[in-house]
Amino acid sequence: METISKAKAFGGTQGVYRHKSEACQCDMTFALFLPPQAEQGPVPVLWYLSGLTCTHQNVMDKGEYRRLAAELGIAILCPDTSPRGDDVPDEPDNWQFGKGAGFYLDATEAPFAKNYNMYSYITEELTELVAQKFPLDMSHQAITGHSMGGHGAITIALKNPERFKSVSAFAPIAQPSTAGWSKPAFEKYLGNDQSVWRAYDTTALIEDGHRIESLLVDQGTSDGFLDDGLRPWLLQEACAKAGIPLTLNMQDGYDHSYYFISTFMDEHLRWHAARL
């Protein structure tokens, strides 16, 4: 593992690291903020999964999480959204697919199955790596994310409820298997059998019996992707039928940007801290 950069912030350390990934068959980069409490011993960790077109850098620069994370004693782990490199298959003119759009799944279709294994990368490879290299209390993990990353956070938590003590999301894609900006990607990554897609669809996972203890979601009412891509009412319906307590905050006038995310980041950090 290579250290790309380290900087002190709020008594803690913001680092960026690179390593060779077996799951994605390329070099992968991630960011990790360690609060000052990590100098005394392992600290709880909150995963943040980013959205379409993003990398680890977006939330690190614009998410405004370090001040409160340092106060609460929580590490913030920010992976990339997809495999990277000249040899990774891509559609450069399609921002909804390929590099920057891994959708946190394990692809089964050629030529994408070799590299696009973000589910295994997050839940296995990167988990093992950071557990070995950093003072993290891996018995106390939480997960959140934005948009595509919100979809990733909820689906990963639904399939690993014993691992994540809490889950939240900012403007998640509630039903990616039918949304206009994600259905084509699912077909290219996973093939034509839509029953396979259910393993990476929040509402389908809930319908199929997967459960989490509770869920916090913030969604802007002025989000340009609200009606076609995000559709939080589908998540609300699925949680109501399954008896999953959902706190859905429709935030008046907010859009899909990091202005929205940074505004409500503190509330999400406190939500997770209470459960960690």
234-264 pLDDT, tens digit each: 999 999 999 999 999 999 999 999 999 999 9
Query: Which is nearest to 212 in space by CA: 172, 171, 243, 250?
Result: 243
DSSP state of 26: E
Query: What are the residues whose beta carbons fall under 8 Å from the beta carbon of 234, sequence distance 6 or more?
Result: 174, 175, 203
Rounded alpha-carbon distances, angstroms, from residue 176 to 67, 81, 151, 165, 228: 33, 16, 8, 24, 10
Mean pLDDT across the stretch 172-189? 96
CATH code reported for the domain at 2-275: 3.40.50.1820
Residue 162, classed as helix, strand or coil, is: coil
Per-domain boundaries in the chain: 2-275
pLDDT at 65: 98
Query: What are the residues whose beta carbons fall under 8 Å from the beta carbon of 61, sequence distance 6 or more?
Result: none
Give the pairing type, strands 136-145 and 164-170.
parallel
End-to-end CA distance of the chain: 28
Query: Which is nearest to 159 in space by CA: 112, 96, 201?
Result: 201
Share of the chain above pLDDT 70, in %: 100
Confidence of residue 270 (pLDDT cuts 50, 70, 90): very high
pLDDT at 181: 86
What's the whole-model pTM score?
Answer: 0.97
Confidence of residue 184 (pLDDT cuts 50, 70, 90): very high
**Residues designated catalytic:** 147, 223, 256
Neighbours of 257 (CB within 10 A): 15
Q: pLDDT tens-digit profile of 118-173? A: 999 999 999 999 999 999 999 999 999 999 999 999 999 999 999 999 999 999 99
Sheet holding 75-79, edge to edge: 2-9, 12-21, 26-34, 75-79, 43-49, 136-145, 164-170, 215-220, 246-251
**Does 7 have pLDDT greater than 90?**
yes
Query: Which is nearest to 247 in space by CA: 214, 273, 276, 223?
Result: 214
Angle at 74 between CA 166 and CA 54, to 5 degrees: 75
Confidence of residue 62 (pLDDT cuts 50, 70, 90): very high
Q: Write down the mean pLDDT value for the chain.
A: 97
Mean pLDDT across the stretch 59-83? 98
